[in-house]
Amino acid sequence: MNEELKEFDPHFMQLVLSLQAAAMQQMGKVMNPMTSKIERDLMMAQNSIDMLSMLDTKMKNNLTEKEAQLIEHVLYELRLNYVDETNKKVESSDTDEKTEPIAENNDKKEKE
C-alpha cells in the first residue's frame, strides 16, 4: 500500500476539508454556490469550528501525525478568520452598518 495513503485516511481528510469549506462560507469568506452570494452566519460558522474541535479532541491519539497536523492547521486558520469576522461585526456595529447577510453585487455582473 502507498505510504501516503497510510498517513492520510481520505475519508477523514474529506470530512475535515468539507467542514472547513462550510465554515469559510458561513463566515462570508467564500461565495455560497447555491445562491451565488456572499452570506454570513457567524453562529453556524462557530458551530462548524466547534465540530472540528470536537473531532480533534475525540480522536486524540487515534490520528496519524499528518492527520493531526491537518486538523490542527485547519482549526488554527478557521479560528483566526472567525476572530477577524467578529471584529468586522463589532466595527460595523459601531458605524450602524448591517453585516448579515452580505450580498455580492450581482447587478454589475449581469450588465457585463
- In this structure, what DSSP letter does residue 104 have? P
How far is the C-alpha of 107 from the C-alpha of 109, rounded, in Å? 5
Exposed, middle or buried, 24 (CB in 10 Å: 0-12/13-18/19+)? middle
pTM, entire model: 0.74
pLDDT tens over the chain, length 112 residues? 455 557 788 999 999 999 999 999 999 999 988 899 999 999 999 999 999 999 999 999 999 999 999 999 999 999 999 999 999 866 665 544 444 444 444 444 444 4
